[in-house]
A and B are shown apart, each in its own frame.
Chain A
Amino acid sequence: MGSRRPFRVGIGGPVGSGKTTLIERIVPLLLAADRSVVVVTNDIVTREDEMHVRVALDGILDGERVVGVETGACPHQAVREDPSMNLAVLAELEGRYPETDYVLLESGGDNLTLTFSPELVDESLYVIDVAGGDKIPRKRGPGLILCGLLVINKTDLAPYVGADLARMDRDSAAIRGSSPYLFTDARAGVGLDRLVGHLELARDAWLTQGSPRPGVSGVSGVSDPPHDHRHAVAGR
């Protein structure tokens, strides 16, 4: 724990929910805050995500700091039951870039049950999008419930797909309890300052106490949400 290695953030969620875009948009914000970052993508079939991130951050983040991991058709296993290959790649990256503050580790997209091994990451985000259906929060997958921060992305699409954001807000509050959730439009940058603020608070707590949440160990349970999620919705 503590400062011997970077703060590792897992980013999970269904295919197409915006995980890769989210990473591409928050990396510049972290760099602007003088944080050093590496990115690991767990692609299911190709190295598409790795290449996409490298191209999107060309000139901003050294391409060598973005590494793809093939998961043998099992994205869940690669971040949960047996994260060996991710741990091996992290060891290589952290050895090559010892000054790194953040590792952003994107899971291969899959379903709502995805959680990260607490031996792999220190904090996790679970990203869903409004176009996937406004009933998703009510489906109560472990991915949505146990993550450190639930991100409901693509709020700009709500009017076009008939998604009721107020309903998603109520349902998210119900399943999350005191744990935080956040509405974002990653492509337009809406809500991302709050997301980065959440990561910084979690990292500070981890650096000082070895846990991303004061007084709490493990992956679930959060004290005060670090932000007002409704403000992010209003700010669309």
Chain B
Amino acid sequence: MDERAVLAMLQLADSGFPSGAYTLSGGLETLVDEGIVRGAEDIAGCLRSMLLGRSARGDLAALVAAHRAAAGDPPDGEAIVVIDRSLDATKLAAEERVGARRVGRRIALEAERLTDSAIVRQFCEAIAATITPGTAAVATGIAAVAMGIPEHEAALAAGHASVLAFLTVAVRLGRIGHGDQQRLLREAGETIIHAVDIAQATDARTFRPFAPGLDIAMARHETAPGRLFAS
């Protein structure tokens, strides 16, 4: 991969990239509060569900599909809207849906400021006009194209970023320390690669994320008394 693309990938996947994703727990806060998730091994199980159950056939598959549509010559803006709406429709819990839209909007706006990409600008305009929901995964796929990051690497980086974000939530909730955080991140590597392989083989018309334990937790989070996180 081109050196500039490597640097761009690091920038887009970095926890310092201003996307607001750190405010979302993806249901982990509720699972911890209700005593379902207690320690490092429980969290490793959640990560597998998140990556293989939800992301591989949901967010990561949409990222890949959006990347392909944005990288086409010419870019296919209509296909991106279809992908974005389809992914949004699979998000059953309101907090996941709203969170993904808010993060997606921010990623798109930052990418618009960082690049002069016409397809990013078009996507931002479609979000503002409420033509498309602007999910985080689709915004990331388009931003990756605008920043020169290839499809496979963009999906790997997004998988890595989602795992790191999840583990950081676990640290903030006091369930693991920094050592376990890094161990679980490294151990998740093979699962991330497997999830990306599935995502790249998933047809954009058949998103079917399935992680009911996490969906139910996010739905229950809406009325939870303690809320450090927005999902």
Contact = CB atoms under 8 A, between A and B. Distances in A.
Interface of A: 43-47, 69-74, 77-78, 81-85, 87-89, 91
B178 interface: no
A72 B18 contact: no
A77 B230 contact: no
B23 A70 contact: yes
B23 A72 contact: yes
A180 to B, nearest CB: 30
Interface in B1-52: 16, 18-20, 22-25
Interface stretch (B78-86, B102-110, B212-220): B102-110
Given A72-B172, A73-B172, A44 B228 contact: yes
B213 to A, nearest CB: 21
A64 to B, nearest CB: 16
Given A72-B25, A73-B172, A84 B20 contact: yes
B227 A72 contact: no
B156 interface: no
A72 B169 CA distance: 8
10 contacts: A45-B228, A70-B227, A70-B229, A71-B228, A72-B23, A72-B25, A73-B229, A85-B20, A87-B20, A88-B102
B74 interface: no
B226 A71 contact: no
Given A85-B102, A87-B106, A88-B105, A72 B16 contact: no
Nearest to A47: B227
Interface string B160-179: 00000000010011000000
B230 A72 contact: yes
Nearest to B168: A72
Contact of A69 (B22, B103, B230): B230
Interface of B: 16, 18-20, 22-25, 102-103, 105-106, 169, 172-173, 225-230
B22 A46 contact: no
Contacts of A72: 22-25, 169, 172, 228-230
Given A71-B23, A72-B172, A84 B18 contact: yes
Contacts of A71: 23, 228
For B20, B24, B230, the residue with the greatest tally of chain A CB atoms inside 10 Å of its CB is B20
B16 A84 contact: no
A78 B23 contact: yes
A69 B102 CA distance: 12
Contact of A81 (B16, B169, B228): B16
Nearest to B134: A88
Contacts of B24: 72
Contacts of B169: 72
A72 B24 CA distance: 7
For B24, B226, B228, the residue with the greatest tally of chain A CB atoms inside 10 Å of its CB is B228
B226 A85 contact: no
A45 B173 CA distance: 11
A81 B18 contact: yes
Nearest to A44: B228
A27 B102 CA distance: 27
Contact of B228 (A73, A83, A85): A73
A69 to B, nearest CB: 7
Nearest to A46: B227
Contacts of A43: 227
A72 B103 CA distance: 14
Given A72-B23, A72-B24, A73-B172, A84 B106 contact: yes
Given A72-B169, A87-B106, A91-B105, A82 B22 contact: yes
Contacts of B20: 78, 82-85, 87-88
